[in-house]
Amino acid sequence: MHALDQHRVKFVLWDTNFETKAVTAFFPAQTRVPHDGFLMEPYLEAHYRLVKSVDGIRIMERNDDNRSH
């Protein structure tokens, strides 16, 4: 998150399938983290807007307003 802010990264490609598909396949005993325990997702929701979503892959663009500071 620090790097995204420091470098003012304009676009983020976010694969939401990792948690729903890969984690259960690679780490079957892993306890699922409740949504309020996530760090990256709330950051992205606050600082980026969704441009497009296809099959769980999100393309997000940094907000231009002051909320992203």
Number of separate domains in the chain? 1
* pTM score over 0.75: no
pLDDT tens column, 37-69: 678 888 999 999 999 999 989 999 999 865 444
Is the four-CA dihedral 5, 10, 13, 16 of positive or negative sign?
Answer: positive
Task: Name 16's Cβ contacts closer than 8 Å, sequence gap at least 6.
Answer: 56, 57, 58
Give residue-wise pLDDT tens across range 7-17: 999 999 999 88
Average pLDDT, the chain: 83
Higher-confidence residue of 22 and 8: namely: 8
pLDDT at position 26 over 70: yes
DSSP collapsed to 3 states, 52-65: EEECCEEEEEECCC
Give the range of the structural domain holding residue 19, as residue numbers without chain letter.
Answer: 2-68
